[in-house]
């Protein structure tokens, strides 16, 4: 297993523990799979691994955010959720 594959598996473990995330196979032949959060039926965050970095893609903003590892991703997700729900 490659380093990216191992990292992708670690990302999957932390995201599935949060709930609401699902594994999405590649949309193009030979492309990598991703973990997706789609609470309303539309993907709001897609997470994959590329060259040793965890990369989150926000389709609504057409923006990518890179992280050193799953822990940094989880911290960022927590911040995003807190900002979206100020209550």
Q: What are phi and psi of 26, to 5 degrees?
A: -55, 140
The residue ranges of every structural domain in the chain are: 3-84
Angle between helices 70-84 and 3-18 (to 10 degrees): 30
**CA angle, corner 60, sides to 15 and 79, nearest 5?**
45
Q: What is the mean pLDDT of residues 14-27?
A: 91
- List beta partners, residue 81: none
pLDDT in tens, 38-52: 988 889 999 999 999
Q: pTM of this prediction?
A: 0.89
User: Is 25 within 8 Å of 33 (Cβ atoms)?
Assistant: yes
């Amino acid at each position: 297993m490659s380093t990216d594959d191992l990292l992708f598996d670690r990302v999957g473990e932390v995201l599935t523990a949060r709930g609401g995330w699902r594994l999405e196979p590649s949309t193009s032949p030979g492309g990598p799979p991703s973990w997706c959060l789609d609470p309303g039926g539309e993907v709001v965050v897609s997470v994959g691994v590329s060259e040793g970095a965890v990369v989150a893609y926000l389709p609504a903003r057409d923006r990518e955010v890179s992280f050193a590892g799953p822990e940094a991703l989880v911290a960022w997700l927590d911040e995003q959720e807190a900002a979206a729900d100020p209550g």
